[in-house]
Amino acid sequence: MIAFMSVDLESAGALATATLVAKEIDGNAGKTHAAHAHAQCANCNAPLAGAYCHRCGQAAHVHRSLLHIVEEGIHGVLHFDTKSWRTLPLLIGRPGLLTRRYIEGQRVRYVSPLALFLFSVFLLFFVFSLLGSKESPEKTAASLQEARKEQTQEVEEARKLVAKRTAKLAQAHTADGKEDAAEELADAQNDLKESEIALAALDAASTASAKGQPTNDAEVSLTATNAALDKAHLDSRHPKLARTVRHAADNPELTLYKMKSSAYKFAFMLVPLSLPFLWLMFWRRKGVTMYDHAIFTLYSLSFMSLWSALIGLMATSRFTQGLVVVAALFIPIHIFLQLKEAYRLGWFSTAWRTVALLIADSVIVALFVLLILFISLN
């Protein structure tokens, strides 16, 4: 199906769109043009006195060639003028200095945090769409084997529970005791039956995989999900939720696609989710405003997105796989550096806030995932 191709054309289009939108948000500051060819602005007819119209801001030099259309497209998709070469090194090596300079008004030389955030988030999802190819047969077989091992253990535990409750029923002497023991035994037998059904589905999938036949992942997923839902009695308690979960298990590729699409469409929600945590950490500090926290968050999320995309690319090559752990360990170091310089903190103040922010990030990611699940399954 085209929608699930590893090279996701929608993601590529979204990346190009986000880059061009970010370019427009970032503005044209710092650009230079050739001498203009008109004495008046072609857009509003105002007299021209430089490379840009003082009234509407349009460039004085107006291009009319197919080559320039291609040039502008490549230019817009690949970089934000020369600002990116000043911004990215600071974003990686001196994030706190970059944040502080932007807050204090030094903005012409750097890509704005919102523009960089838009570009980096869409780049992250574009890279992940390229890397989202299907697992090799060896990995699929290993995953099935691991799942079968866990399910076998669950079946064994269910059988032990049935034996235990059978013995309890045999030892019961009163009518009430026998009735209670019989109900407990019936529940245990139902759990055992559901576990055995899920194990049978995994056995069938493992056999098909060993013979080189395609495995029906959706069927395995749906069987296991049905067993779990029956065990939780969700059909009687929450029928709408049970139907939603079954539909997601029956269409795992569609569900994953909807979640990915929702994730990059609603990635901006990471900013308002982050701001309350930062406010709590600095609520007694004078001179720090929510605007400062927003700039800090946008630049931080931009780095995380770009760095995660880099880690994803590194993980695909056997030459750079060993560096993935080192790259991941740089993330808390980056948070420490940005906090220390952006808010002008001491070492101890920065250290405890770094730990607190790492914990807060885990909470934020969990909330974001729940939000995406809610949007995707409704």
Which mean pLDDT values do the consecutive 10-residue runs of the chain (378 residues) have?
44 54 52 52 81 77 62 54 82 94 89 88 82 54 68 84 87 83 84 72 60 50 52 52 54 63 80 92 89 94 92 85 88 95 94 95 89 74
3 in a domain, yes or no?
A: no
**171 and 287 housed in the same domain:** no
300 in a domain, yes or no?
A: yes
| Residue 103 · residue 295 · CB < 8 Å | yes
**257 and 109 housed in the same domain:** yes
Buried-exposed string 43-64: b where 16+ CB fall within 10 A, e elsewhere? eeeeebeeebbeeeebbbeeee
By CB neighbour count within 10 A (0-12 exposed, 13-18 middle, 19+ buried), where does 96 fall? buried
Instruction: Return the pLDDT at 34.
Output: 44
288 in a domain, yes or no?
A: yes
191 in a domain, yes or no?
A: yes
Structurally, the chain folds into a number of domains equal to 3
Q: What is the pLDDT of residues 26-64, one digit of tens each?
A: 554 444 444 444 578 877 888 887 777 877 777 777 666
Domain edge (last residue) among 173, 197, 232: 232
| Residue 376 · residue 262 · CB < 8 Å | yes
Instruction: Return the pLDDT at 73.
Output: 58
6 in a domain, yes or no?
A: no
121 in a domain, yes or no?
A: yes
Nearest of 120, 128, 98 to residue 267 by alpha carbon = 120
Nearest of 50, 52, 49, 44 to residue 27 by alpha carbon = 52
Q: Give the ranges where the chain is alpha helix by DSSP (H).
A: 9-26, 66-78, 83-93, 95-103, 113-131, 137-171, 175-210, 217-232, 234-237, 239-250, 252-265, 270-282, 290-315, 324-342, 347-376
**257 and 375 housed in the same domain:** yes
Instruction: Return the pLDDT at 346.
Output: 93
Query: How many angstroms separate the CA atoms of 361 and 242, rounded?
Result: 30
Instruction: Return the pLDDT at 6.
Output: 41
Domain edge (last residue) among 232, 266, 284: 232
How many CA atoms lie less than 13 Å away from 42 in the CB half-sphere? 11
Instruction: Return the pLDDT at 84.
Output: 80
- Cα 190 to chain centroid, rounded: 38
Both tokens assigned to 373: 């699940």
275 in a domain, yes or no?
A: yes
Three-class secondary structure of residue 59 per DSSP: strand
Q: Which domain holds residue 64?
A: 35-79
Instruction: Return the pLDDT at 179.
Output: 84
**152 and 174 housed in the same domain:** yes
| Residue 98 · residue 91 · CB < 8 Å | yes
Three-class secondary structure of residue 6 per DSSP: coil
Strand partners, 40: 47
Instruction: Return the pLDDT at 374.
Output: 76
**346 and 291 housed in the same domain:** yes
Instruction: Return the pLDDT at 3.
Output: 41
Instruction: Return the pLDDT at 4.
Output: 41
**337 and 188 housed in the same domain:** no
**213 and 279 housed in the same domain:** no
Three-class secondary structure of residue 36 per DSSP: coil
Instruction: Return the pLDDT at 29.
Output: 45
**186 and 301 housed in the same domain:** no
Cα–Cα distances in angstroms (integers) from residue 147 to residues 101, 178, 215, 222, in the given order: 52, 37, 14, 14
**281 and 374 housed in the same domain:** yes
Which residue reads 């901006």 in tokens? 268
7 in a domain, yes or no?
A: no
Query: How many angstroms separate the CA atoms of 188 and 145, rounded?
Result: 25
**75 and 173 housed in the same domain:** no
Domain edge (last residue) among 232, 260, 282: 232
Instruction: Return the pLDDT at 67.
Output: 60
Instruction: Return the pLDDT at 354.
Output: 96
Rg (CA), the chain: 29
**312 and 191 housed in the same domain:** no
**277 and 370 housed in the same domain:** yes
